[in-house]
Copies of this chain bind each other. A is one copy, B any other.
């Protein structure tokens, strides 16, 4: 695969966003969030999606120049209206508010409505870490998941992210959807024509399905836990919590009514709120403990978990974020590998916008 420096992809994305009337600062931010996904090896959320974001801007589905406003606040909370801007811009702005407020009062809660897909959730928890804050981040997403015991899509894959700083160890980074598999993995199986494991999805009649087509074509993903016996109600609880906090609480859409991300997606049958909702929670570490000793304890926690007797002798127990941290380390120096189809898409965007990709 051809490899591209992250700076190159970031520059290209920024210029292309600008050409779509996104203000310079916002374009820089959006390009940064987008390429952070490629850097961390979460290709499904990276420049692969640039075209989809541009389509939404071109069609007016998403505003290039939103007026992001704080519609209500207290000392340590804010409710932000993203004015239907790019989630890649609304997200970082709202996260900054959480970081600033937490720096003053110790912890802060920022609810966001009227936003759109905000990229990888880990971008935000990692931003908080840079300020010695712990960031807990959630977002609701378009309906792809059946509630436990249900046979149709009613909830998003609703991810959650949080990160913890080590002293000499790289940070622990949790970033997970609350369904058995993410929508990205389902899409990947669809593209490659492979099946997903039993327990990840159902078809349009509510029967267990492993073919991506059956799950995508009117079926649904299953919540984390997969079956009643193994705790699918718990995955459902997590998705519900995130939908209630991100959607219902702050006045965004929720459940089956969350608007879809790509243009060719479903149209919600009812309008129950404004766009997609996020939650950014930030805690100043030094409000609770000395950050230096905390980081040393996190290192120790990492060492203890790594030393767990493994189930397979050859495979050591991993720490959340290991794979992504390693990808980031490698890709920062040797570039980001892009499959030919993605390169072709980016070249096409380059031709249309007059900003050459290579």
**When the two chains form their complex, are residues A224 and B231 in contact, meaning their CB atoms are under 8 A apart?**
yes
A235-255 interface bits toward B, Cβ cutoff 8 Å, 1 = contact, 0 = none: 111101101110011110011
**When the two chains form their complex, are residues B111 and A108 in contact, meaning their CB atoms are under 8 A apart?**
no
**When the two chains form their complex, are residues B76 and A230 in contact, meaning their CB atoms are under 8 A apart?**
no
Whether a CB of chain B sits under 8 angstroms from the CB of A355 is no
A164-199 interface bits toward B, Cβ cutoff 8 Å, 1 = contact, 0 = none: 100000001010111011000000000000000101
Whether a CB of chain B sits under 8 angstroms from the CB of A13 is no
Note all chain B residues with C-beta closer than 8 A to A152: 308-309
**When the two chains form their complex, are residues B237 and A320 in contact, meaning their CB atoms are under 8 A apart?**
yes
A297 to B108, CA, bound (A): 24
Q: By the criterion of a CB under 8 Å from any partner CB, how many residues of chain A are at the interface? A: 86
A76 to B98, CA, bound (A): 13
Whether a CB of chain B sits under 8 angstroms from the CB of A121 is no
User: Of B77, B200, B316, which is within 8 A of A230 by CB?
Assistant: B200
Whether a CB of chain B sits under 8 angstroms from the CB of A358 is no
**When the two chains form their complex, are residues B197 and A310 in contact, meaning their CB atoms are under 8 A apart?**
no
Shortest CB-to-CB span from A346 to chain B, Å, is 31
Q: List 23 A-B contacts (CB under 8 A).
A: A76-B76, A76-B108, A79-B289, A105-B105, A109-B288, A146-B311, A148-B318, A149-B312, A149-B318, A150-B309, A150-B317, A176-B233, A176-B234, A200-B229, A225-B225, A230-B230, A233-B320, A244-B298, A248-B294, A248-B297, A249-B285, A272-B300, A281-B281
